[in-house]
Amino acid sequence: MSGGVDSSTVAAMLRADGHEVIGLTMQLWNQRRLAGHTGMPEAVHGRCCSLDDVYDARRVAEALGIPYYVVNHEERFERDVVRPFVEEYLSGRTPIPCSLCNNHLKFDQLLIVARQIGAEGLATGHYARVGLDEVSGRWLLKRAADLSKDQTYFLFGLTQEQLSRTLFPLGEMTKQEVRELARHHGLALAEKPDSQEICFVPGGDYKNFLDAYLSEQGNTLPDAAGELVTTGGQVIGEHKGIHNFTVGQRKGLGVATGSPLYVIQIDGEKGQVVVGHQDELYSASLRAHRVNLISIDKLLEPMRVTVKIRHRHEPAAARIEQAGPEEIVARFDTPQRAITPGQAAVFYDNDTVVGGGWIA
C-alpha cells in the first residue's frame, strides 16, 4: 500500500471479495534526510513513499478494518536503488530507479515478508496483467487493458516465482474506473493525484540530488569536465560533467552553431560528450544485457517482437537474437531515436512481455 488511490482501491476490492487482506507499506527513503543541502526542500509533500503517503495508507487500512504494517527497507533501498542511480549518472548512463526498486524490493523483499506473515500472495496497484499459460506452463506478464496506464515496462525483471504469487487487480481497468471504485468504497483519497516524480529526487532535479547526496557522504562531484566533440571527432567546446547530459538532449550544451545540435553519445571512459545533428540520433540496433526472459525459457532462434526503449515509447518492430549469456541484440525495422544506455529495452509479443534487459 503506497498511500495512493491505486493500491488503496486494490485493498478495498480484495476485502470486498472476501479475502483476508494485510496492508504493507515499504519505508524506503527519509524525505527530510537531505534537507538543508542546496536545492533540497525542508519538507516534501504528496510524493510516493513520503510520510504523508504512509499516513494515507494507514488511514485506508483503518477504514477497511485490515491489519497494517510499515516495513523499513531504507538501507536496502539505498544500496540497491539510490547508489546505483548515482553511479549510473556519474558514468554517463541514464538510470531507471523504478525498475530497480521493483526488481530488488517490491517484488523480492515484500514477497519474503508475505511468506513470513503467512500470506499466499502479493497484490499491488500496478497496471498490468498476469496469468498462467496452460500450454507452456509459464506465468505470463501482459500489458494492461488501458495502454495509457500500462506499467509492464518497469516490471520486466519479474521472475516466474514472483509472477506466480502476484496479483494485479487493476489490469483490466482504466484510471477513471479505479477512481469511481474508490468512491464507491468510500475511500477518502479517491481524488488524490498521481505521483509522477522519482520518489527520492524532489522536483525531479537529479543534478541537485547528486550534489546533495555526495556532499552528505563526505564526497563531492568528481571532476568530470571534458570535451564536447562532433561525431566526426572535432572538438568544439568543453563541458563541466557528463552527468549533466543525456542522449537526445538539445538545450544546455554550451555551444552555438548554425544548426541545432543534440547529444548523440556519452563516453564515460574518455569523458566526452558527442554531439551531432538530429538525424544522427537514430540507431538501427541496440544491445541489452542482464536480460530476464518471461514468456519463454530461452531464446533459441531469432524472434520477431516489438521493443520499447522508454516508458512512453511506442513499441517498435524488431528482430531479437541471443548474443551471449543474458545478452540480446535487437535490430529494428526502422531506426529509433535516442536509444539511451542505462534505460530498459522491453520486448513484446503483441501484449505479452517476452522479457527485457538494460540497454548497454
Task: Give CA 189 to chain center in angstroms.
Answer: 24
Calculate the CA dihedral of residues 12, 13, 18, 24 and round it to 10 degrees: -50
- pLDDT per residue over 94-120, tens digit each? 888 888 888 878 888 889 999 898 999
Residues 351-359, mean pLDDT to the nearest whole number: 97
- Which SS3 state, helix, strand or coil, does residue 208 take? helix
Q: How many CB atoms lie within 10 A of CB 208?
A: 17
> Is-catalytic flag, 48?
no
Position with higher pLDDT, 286 vs 241: 286
Average pLDDT, the chain: 91
- 3-state percent helix, strand, coil for the chain, nearest multiple of 5: 30, 30, 45
Residue 269, Cβ density class (10 Å: 0-12 exposed, 13-18 middle, ≥19 buried):
exposed
In the structure, what pLDDT confidence band is assigned to residue 340 with cuts at 50, 70 and 90? Answer: very high
Instruction: Point out the catalytic residue in the list 48, 49, 98, 101.
Output: 101
Q: Which of 8, 21, 10, 13 is nearest to 55 (CA)?
A: 8
In the structure, what pLDDT confidence band is assigned to residue 48 with cuts at 50, 70 and 90? Answer: low
Look at residue 314 in the predicted model and tell me its pLDDT. 94
> Is-catalytic flag, 199?
yes
- pLDDT per residue over 64-98, tens digit each? 999 999 999 999 999 999 999 999 988 888 888 88
Q: Is the pLDDT of residue 49 over 70?
A: no
Alpha helices in the chain (DSSP H): 5-16, 51-64, 74-77, 83-90, 97-101, 109-116, 160-164, 175-184, 206-216
